[in-house]
Amino acid sequence: GSRLHVFEFVEDTATLGTECVRHGSSKAWTPLSAFARTTAQYDTSLNASYVAGHLLPLFEYAAEIIPQQYWNTTVVKYGATAGMRLIDEDEQEAVYDAVYEGLTTSNRFQFSSMRREDVATLGGDLEGFYGAVAVNYLRGVIDSRMHMKGNESHIFGQDKDDWHSLQYDGPLGALDMGGASAQIVYLPEISSTCSSEHALRGDMLDKVDFQDSCKNVHLESEKQLSESDFFSTSYLAYGVDQFRERLWDTLLDDEVRAREADPQSCSTGFILNPCAFRGYKTEWKGHVLVGTGNADECMAHVQRHIPHHEEVAPRGEHGMGERVTLNNSAYENTDRRVGGVDHPPLRGKFYGMSLYFFTLDCLRELSAHKGLDMSWPTPSIEELTDALDGLCSRDWHSDLAQIQHSSHEFTRAEVLPHRCIEAVYLVTLLRDGFGFKPKSRDITFTFHVDGNEVDWSLGMALAINAQNVVDLHGSKEGFCDDETNSNESAVMSPKSILSDRECVKLSDADDPSNSTERYLEATSSSPTCPAFCATHAT
């Protein structure tokens, strides 16, 4: 579904700095992609009022927060992500036309400055970068203008138990997972071929490209964080919903091939599904899948899909039914490929947000694995792996079905049946796809930082603010593309900046059950705007 967020940038007269604080959020559960037409329906026009109707309560919520005198100066930004990226581009535009028409012609919609170009698809790589911006802002690495603060500000508070306060080396990376796509973004490792003068020193970091050549791009304390500094990739169709359906298709294909190879075999009428809780049944394309809750076998199936979503490895190639265990030294020299994309070696610390948190926190709670519970929220990959069997082996009918409405704070009843496959997929992706070492504790899985939700929508608000500052003080190389035909143009900001700004953002969050994500952003630019907080929350 879609989520609307309200942010405000408040000027601190004492420090002459600006802080981005949040004000509230509201959610509509219907995904925007549900309104897209099939090919057979293209001759039928979309009903604009119907398409936009589910969003109007969200804007009414925003109007209750933002004082009436600022409604007309609030700029609305709506950025659609993976769910809409899966739809044909022409149909995307048709849906956005309907959203814009339906909203702006309704007397319930108060934000008259909204433009048609404010409704668009957000590029996946930029979405990942925004996640990193949000993390680094909340952790105190950058300010509201996306400038590095310098080493003296990188201690992240005085909490001695804060893992990221113990070891810190440059900007934090981000891992984001939704229903339809996954993102990873981080500053690549420094090349060993770089000269010593280009090595990490003080508050300065040289960034090298994937081809192992020095580019001598410094992240100094006064430098604005830029998308070009990072390796950022979005894996479309690698969200949990899309991945689960591909795995189900593979189970069906394997069964068909097995029957063709042995026509005399006895058919039971159902297909065993190691990636579902024991006894849980689901229908898929005319077949019944019955869960066996075997995490090891499920992991072997998952491994077949990680390298490329269109080229599934043959059954048995990755040791079907046998858990792959690698020590740290063996991991260092292993090539990594996810979704057909090679990526540079991992570097630094990461934050895992959205479904990485929702699913793996459910793993922590329902697996009863003491080691995982004690090390949370910075468990090792090994601890996560060891906890998988404790979750997946649970019986559905005599156990989980009885607690499905209260099993976990972030898991609704309709989502719970998929937590086994989700957990196995995420852990396997982190370990065998991205290459996080089994004993490493480089990821913090979190939903909040100091009471603020970790979500890329905050990063989008910060990026708009930073671009506004650039526009005010003169043109210089920025962090985003202003081409209106670019996927990144969904975050084009107004060409003015004032001390206070409201920023309303509509987002289809990476909720545990959602396969699409959509975001709206609005800013108001009034010099007399009162300083009230604005942000997003579930």
**Residues flagged as binding site:** 179-183
Task: Give the residue among 353, 386, 354, 387 at the shortest CA–CA distance from 368.
Answer: 387
Residue 127 known to be catalytic: yes
Counted residue by residue, the chain has a size of: 538
Strand pairing class (74-80; 119-121) = parallel
Q: Could you tell me if 521 and 77 are in contact, meaning their C-beta atoms sit under 8 angstroms apart?
A: yes
CA–CA distance, 185 with 240 (Å, rounded to integer)? 18
CA–CA distance, 502 with 20 (Å, rounded to integer)? 10
- Strand, coil or helix: what is 487? helix
H or E segment and range at residue 446: none
Angle at 424 between CA 390 and CA 434, to 5 degrees: 135
CA–CA distance, 478 with 15 (Å, rounded to integer)? 24
Asked whether the CA dihedral 141, 142, 147, 150 is positive or negative, the reply is: negative
Q: Which of these is catalytic: 127, 383, 422, 502?
A: 127
Q: Binding site for ATP: residue ranges?
A: 179-183
Q: Could you tell me if 275 and 420 are in contact, meaning their C-beta atoms sit under 8 angstroms apart?
A: yes
DSSP labels, 253-299: HHHHHHHHH-TTSPP-SSEEETTS-BT-EEEETTEEEEE---HHHHH
CA–CA distance, 392 with 295 (Å, rounded to integer)? 6
- Strand, coil or helix: what is 113? coil
Angle at 247 between CA 245 and CA 253, to 5 degrees: 105
CA–CA distance, 468 with 506 (Å, rounded to integer)? 20
Strand pairing class (74-80; 518-524) = antiparallel
Angle at 204 between CA 202 and CA 205, to 5 degrees: 120
Which residues are marked as active site?
127
